[in-house]
Amino acid sequence: IPPLSSMTLTGNHLIAGREAAPHSHTFNATNPTTSEKLDPVYGDATHAEADEALQAAEAAFDALRLATPETRAALLDAIADEITALGDALLERAHAETALPMARLTGERGRAIGQCKLFAALIREGSWAEARVDHAIPDRQPLPKPDVRRVMMPLGPVVVFGASNFPFAIGVVGTDTVCALAAGCPVVVKGHPAHPGTCEMMGRAVENALRKVGLPAGCFSLLHGKGNDIGTTLVKHPLTQAVGFTGSLRGGRALMDVAAARPTPIPVYAEMGSVNPVFVLPGALKERASKIAEAYVGSVTMGVGQFCTNPAIVLGIMGPDLQQFISSSAALATKVAPQTMLHSGICQAYGAGTAVWQTIKGLELAGQSETPPSSDATQAACRIFTTTLDVLENNEELNREVFGPCSIITECPTLDDLLRYANKLEGQLTATIHGTVEDLREYAPLVRVLEKKVGRIIFNGFPTGIEVCPSMHHGGPYPAASHSFFTSIGTASIYRFVRPVCYQGFPEEALPELLQDANPRGAMRIVDGEIKR
């Protein structure tokens, strides 16, 4: 196996260990800073190649699902090692394709490696599988009780769509792929066309790791494609058992509809973004309006605003403290230098979205980057707007996500108005409250409303910068996500790609290890109604 740090990119699809050269609908990655086309040429995978990848995944399924947890954990550790072995070459290619700063990419690579190790530890320990054991009571009256045991088992081949804004952590070896492999599901990834070279490098890391641990090459394939056709084909394929997607509402909903129309519908776990409202309460504004403004503008402009958790709408009670917050935020926005976005499509959509906003009567541009953005460098300026609640409520387009460094500060007359807006919210990934302990007491009804509307509620912080940990929930009611129960970040994301299987009356030696009385791994289980190891 050649060292990946010296790897030459080929533009090929990686299909269960076989390489397939592009031959139709070819495209290149583009450096968003210079508009330079980057070699090599990639192309759309064919229907036959999609079928080959999924047939190989199905053929490899038993080997992967029946592999010991230690073998699957060793695979994840090996993937982490192979990503590390890519060295600076991976960072340089990702920087050329996305314009993300090297420091950001270095941190995100660490997150991707950390996710591999996190899931390796999870499956080694075993409690995640939620084993439940109810022993038989043969002499129970009036009827005997049978021996019944339940555990989570993998679904089968999973199709993953890489995201544009996290080429490592939500890409070819992002959470979706890592937790699917951890669960025992083979993966077919549809790489993002904005950074295909990065996708190829990460894909080869997985291939090398599979060889190292001796698992079938069919456990992983990477297909490229710029259009929608290959993605639709993968979701329609009868061997696909589940889909992981991070992207726009339009794209996620399209995949959901395709999956639902299949003869056998399958789940699409889609994370589709939101406006992530921020409620700035009076006590917090009185204490620290300027400090909150500083953190707010920093959150809006982090990563050029290219996060699904970008705080796009802020609401506060009108008065001098809110005006100070607006003034501070506007002044800070002028000092933010325009930055290059991920690709021209996102930049154009950002420009078009904020242009529509500026035609709305009652919406004012409070502050924007002093330096004009360069269209040649695919740059976006920070833009902070202000409006009143009636304008926000009467213009639906203001309540839709515009991907980029922009946000709207909204003046509300009273607490009742805040509550009215919160009650009308569509499902959101996050909502944030800035306040004091006294504010939380006085505005407790607001928290109760948000509990029904969002997946994660933040107090005195901002939603950007998601902690990858067992407690994290990154999802929310539709349209933020396709199913509010599931998360796309953190160890609980593994539950998207498993299902419960119940065994009744089986002899001990025929049961999965986690259901055997000996419990050799010491996993936490529910045994006869008690939680124990």
CA distance 402 to 354: 7
212 CB neighbour count, 10 Å cutoff? 16
Q: Which amino acid is at 340?
A: T
Amino acid letter, 367:
G
- The answer to whether 256 and 482 are in contact (CB under 8 A) is yes
Q: Six-digit token pair at 216?
A: 């079938």
Give the containing element (helix H, strand E) for 523: none
Cα(405)–Cα(159) distance, integer angstroms = 31
Q: How many residues does the chain have?
A: 533
DSSP string across 339-391: EE-S-HHHHHHHHHHHHHHTTSTT-EEEEE-SSPPPGGGTEE--EEEEEEHHH
Residue with the two structure tokens 């230690």: 70
CA gap 271, 161 in Å, rounded: 11
Strand-strand pairing, 379-380 and 339-340: antiparallel
Token pair 């939500």: residue = 170
Tell me, what amino acid is at 338?
P
- Cα–Cα distance for residue pair 213/191, rounded to 1 Å: 24
Q: Render 156-169 in DSSP notation, one character per residue.
A: S-EEEE--SS-TTT
209 and 74 Cβ atoms separated by less than 8 Å: no
Annotated catalytic residue, options 49, 82, 108, 271: 271
Q: Which amino acid is at 309?
A: T
Q: Which residue reads 């007359």 in tokens?
A: 413
* Residue 271 among the catalytic residues: yes
Q: How far apart (Å, rounded) are the C-alpha atoms in residues 326 and 312?
A: 14
For the question of residue 530 being annotated catalytic, the response is no
What's the CA gap between 11 and 22, in Å, rounded? Answer: 7
- Taking alpha carbons only, the member of 490, 492, 474 closest to residue 429 is 474
From the list 179, 219, 308, 412, the catalytic residue is: 308
For helices 229-236 and 249-260, give the axis angle rounded to 10 degrees: 40
Cα 331 to Cα 44: distance, rounded to the nearest angstrom: 46
Q: What residues are labeled active site?
A: 271, 308
